[in-house]
Chains A and B, each alone.
Chain A
Amino acid sequence: MLVINNLHVAIGGKIILRGINLEVKPGETHAIMGPNGSGKSTLAAVIAGRDFAQVTEGTVEYFGKNLLEMAPEERSRKGIFLGFQYPIEIPGVSMVNFMKTAVNEHRKYRGLEPLSASDFLKVMREKKEMVDIDSKLANRSVNEGFSGGEKKKNEIFQMAMLEPTLAILDETDSGLDIDALRVVANGVNKLKRPDSSAVVITHYQRLLDYIVPDVVHVLYDGRIVRSAGKELALELEEKGYEWIRNE
Chain B
Amino acid sequence: METKSQFSDRYLDLFAENREKIETQSADIMNSFRGEAIEKYGLLGIPAGKNEMYRYTNLDAFFMHEFRNYLLPVDEDLEKAEQFRCDVTDLDAHGLVLMNGFYPDLKHKLRELPGGVWIGSLKEASVKFSDLVDKHYGRYAKSESDGLVHLNTAMASDGVFVYVPEGTRLNKPVQVINLVYSKDDIFNQHRNLIIVEKNSEISIIICDHTLSPQKFLTNAVTEVYVGENSRFDIIRVQNEHNNAGKLTHTFIHQERNSHASSNNVTLHGGLVRNSTYHYLGGEGAESNSYGLYLADKFQHVDNYVNIEHASPRCTSNQLFKGVLDDMASGAFNGRIFVAKDAQGTYAYQKNNSILLTEDAKVYTKPQLEIYADDVKCSHGATVGQLDDNVFFYLRSRGIDQREAKLMLMFGFAHEVIQNINIEPLRERMDNLVMQRLRGELSRCASCMVRCG
Contacts and interface: CB of A to CB of B under 8 A. Distances in A.
Contact of B393 (A84, A92, A97, A109): A84
Given A98-B407, A101-B403, A105-B403, A92 B413 contact: yes
Given A90-B390, A91-B415, A92-B415, A76 B396 contact: yes
A178 interface: no
A158 B390 contact: no
B390 A88 contact: yes
A105 B400 contact: yes
A162 interface: yes
Contacts of A76: 395-398
Contact of A73 (B390, B398, B415, B418): B398
Interface in A86-132: 87-88, 90-93, 97-98, 101-102, 105-106, 109
Contacts of B404: 73
Interface residues of B, number: 23
B395 A91 contact: no
A187 interface: no
A55 to B, nearest CB: 16
Query: Which residue of B389, B392, B398, B399 has the most chain A CB atoms within 10 A of its CB atom?
Result: B398
Main secondary structure on chain B at its contact with chain A? helix
A105 B392 contact: no
Contact of B399 (A50, A91, A105, A141): A105
Interface in A49-106: 49-51, 71-73, 75-77, 81-82, 84, 87-88, 90-93, 97-98, 101-102, 105-106
A144 to B, nearest CB: 10
Nearest to A99: B397
A162 B407 contact: no
A87 B390 CA distance: 9
Contact of B396 (A48, A91, A97): A48
Contacts of B390: 88, 90
A73 B400 contact: yes
B398 A109 contact: yes
Nearest to B417: A92
B410 A73 contact: no
B118 interface: no
B18 interface: no
Contacts of B413: 92
A50 B391 CA distance: 10
B407 A93 contact: yes
A54 B22 CA distance: 72
B389 A101 contact: no
Contact of B411 (A73, A81, A92): A92
A81 B395 CA distance: 11
Nearest to A51: B392
B136 interface: no
Interface of B: 389-390, 392-401, 403-404, 407-408, 410-415, 418
* CB-based closest 9 A-B pairs: A92-B411, A93-B411, A76-B398, A92-B414, A88-B393, A102-B397, A72-B395, A105-B398, A73-B395
27 contacts: A49-B396, A71-B401, A72-B392, A73-B395, A73-B400, A73-B404, A76-B397, A77-B398, A81-B396, A88-B393, A90-B390, A90-B394, A90-B407, A90-B411, A91-B411, A91-B415, A92-B410, A92-B414, A93-B408, A93-B410, A97-B407, A98-B394, A102-B399, A105-B400, A106-B398, A141-B411, A162-B398
Given A93-B410, A102-B397, 19 more contacts: A49-B392, A51-B392, A71-B400, A73-B400, A77-B398, A81-B396, A82-B396, A88-B393, A91-B411, A91-B412, A91-B415, A92-B415, A93-B414, A97-B407, A98-B394, A101-B407, A102-B398, A141-B411, A162-B398
